[in-house]
Homo-oligomer: A and B are copies of this chain.
Amino acid sequence: MAKLYEGKAKIIYETDNPDEVRVLFKDDATAFDGKKKGSIEGKGECNAAISARLFEYLEGQGVPTHYVERLSAKELLCRQLEIIQVEVVARNVAAGSLAKRLGLEEGLVLDRPVLEYYYKSDELGDPLINRYHIRLLELATDEQLDELDRLAWKINELLYEFLDERGLRLVDFKLEFGLDSEGTILLGDEISPDTCRFWDVESGEKLDKDRFRRDLGRVEETYQEVRSRIVDA
């Protein structure tokens, strides 16, 4: 079946059903707006498995997601979405661009979790934006944004607890949402060490894509470890 879209970490194929797509998870890894490129053996399979498990969990807790079923080791069947071009980032601990932007020490536990919107634009480097920018660019309606906020906070609460029980601290994560053919907002994309920061609850060790970004070593093993904690537990 025809390829609909190829991104940095996934390929989307059409299926016989116009409302569904096949999502293939690649081993390719990029960082710093694509300036750093590489491959992480087994990443596609790990991220497919982790995403499937977390989508199933969230669905069970009442969060509408695009996930339908796992088709193979690296492939998920998902609902076809018209993606909202706003990335929603939720943060519980200071790290990455937040620490840099506000001059905070990495690891600072945030008294009040932070939500951020980023404009999904490779050319512009996914800039931070606010609600006025979103209205101006007509990326989403105010009602849709309210729903994104509500879902993001709910997902943060659910995932934080789920992961904590598995020895993973949810530092921050990026969500993408989209509209299905009926205009309902569903959680899309993936939930994996590529899109979340996970730190070991005990040691504080980074168990996510920062190992690749910052050349911390044991990259492949980390993806396997996270898969094991989330999927096998």
Contact = CB atoms under 8 A, between A and B. Distances in A.
Interface in A106-133: 110-117, 119, 121, 123-124, 127-130, 132-133
Contact of A132 (B116, B127, B136): B116
Contacts of A114: 132-133, 136
A119 to B, nearest CB: 7
How many copies the complex holds: the figure is 2
A101 interface: yes
A199 B169 CA distance: 51
Contacts of A112: 132, 135-136
A124 B111 contact: no
Contacts of A2: none
Contacts of A216: none
Contacts of A130: 115-117, 128, 130
Interface of A: 101-103, 110-117, 119, 121, 123-124, 127-130, 132-133, 135-137
